[in-house]
Structure 1
């Protein structure tokens, strides 16, 4: 355990990544706490609305992300400058992804059901960051021997095969599996060989005349959502706050 910690967490050059991840998580949690206090009318915090224009925190988040990103590229992976730029980038990314749903829908859906998408993206981004810090290299290049790394044909073949699995998983509507599959070798294979989700591009094109496959895909998606929907919604509400209740039309 100690060897793994020193090799993966304390490895030279990974400190900026660790600081970026920590500042990203801290910024998201603080931002959600403040927005929930504003929503409840507690504390000294208020929305920033100069001249009646509501300034969302994604605006300073974009500025900080750009500044921190360009600064990190210019400063390299070592030194105090790289650490400062990593913190700035993490803060900006936390502010931006906290309002990811607003960018996706181009509407103020922060406290709606669609706003839960921001929590999903933040959890996914944090998970990917932890995988990289924990020693997972894209497509498992770190697990190759020196001879395999010099074998360009083998490396390119591995890249193409894994990329094909990622692409098929995306076409089948399994974005989370595909994104994790970019970092962890052949995870996307499970998403590629299983049935596509209803409504995905793959289901519309390939299941159009396969009624049995379309029915099995719908049944599997229904069972999966029924099993995990309530748990995932409770987790998202615990982190990001419950969405506003919409009164049904009379």
Structure 2
């Protein structure tokens, strides 16, 4: 295990990414434990930060941490500071988790932390963590690694650029069809976006609204697939979300 960590993470220069991942995961788990303890009104657990009666959401602390770490990275960009890079990366991961944990609040501009809309935050955290893990393991989207674009000759450059345009075009179509996980992870595993772009869209997606309004058979197929395949997956996802993050209901207090 030590040899794998050294050769895969340290020697490849991905140690700051590893610290970002650890900071992100630890911060998210801690803040979820904290908010669940506050919600349960555990007497010995520190409550919300409310100076003068103003509830300061943890997204504020996350934004500050991201700004500080981002400034630090820029200030040290021309210096060889491996230790500082790891510290700043961990700080950025902590801040990112705090921000994404309240992504739904930022999106809706209201406190929906424990409401049904609050699940959007957990989706954002899961997607961000999954992408971070892939980067830590050295898996990058096409176009973000050396050698993706062949610079030997105009024909090869055109072919490489066309391939990238095709991949990202398929990713956009997949996302418009309401398949967020497939679209994002498909940037790392191209077969996913090929399948996602070809298959029928989810019935409430932008693609379905634009293209299925006058095609009732297509819309009916989308609804049937949603009930048969997507609904069980969604229920399993919700159970996983609530196991980690707590039960969501109509109570928006935090």
Normalised to the residue count of structure 1, the TM-score between the two structures is 0.89
Q: Is the 8 A contact 2:38 2:46 kept in 1?
A: yes
Instruction: Return the offset for 1:161.
Output: 0.9
Name the Cα RMSD after superposition.
2.4
How far apart, CA to CA, are the structure 2 residues paired with 1:245 and 1:202? 29
- Go from structure 1 to structure 2 and tell me whether the alpha carbon gap of 1:70 and 1:190 turns closer, same or farther (over 3 Å shift): farther
Aligned pair in 2 of structure 1 residues 4, 141: CA closer, same or farther (>3 Å)? farther
Runs (4 or more) in structure 1 with deviation over 3 Å come to: 1-8, 140-145, 147-151
Unaligned runs of 5+ in 2: none
Higher relative contact order (CA 8 A, sep 6+): 2
Contact 2:24 2:97 in 1 (8 A): yes
Query: Does the 8 Å contact 1:17/1:86 carry over to 2?
Result: yes
CA contact (8 A) 1:138 1:183 kept: yes
> How many pairs are equivalent?
245
Partner residue, 1:18: 18
Query: TM-score, length-normalised on structure 2?
Result: 0.87
Deviation of residue 70 (structure 1)?
2.8
Gaps of 5+ in 1: none
Residues 172 and 196 of structure 1 are in contact (CA less than 8 Å); yes or no, is this contact kept in structure 2? yes
What is the distance in 2 between the residues matched to 1:4 and 1:141?
24
Determine whether 1:120 maps to 2:123.
yes
2:225 counterpart (220, 225, 234): 220
Instruction: Spell out the pairing of 1:81-230 with structure 2 (5 A cutoff).
Output: 81-139=84-142, 142=145, 148=150, 150=152, 151-230=156-235
Q: Distance in 2 between matches of 1:152 and 1:71?
A: 36
1:65–1:92 Cα contact (<8 Å) kept: yes
Query: In 2, Cα distance between the equivalents of 1:143 and 1:3?
Result: 25
Distance of 1:66 and 1:177 partners within structure 2: 30
Q: State how far apart, in whole Å, the 1-side matches of 2:100 and 2:218 are.
A: 36
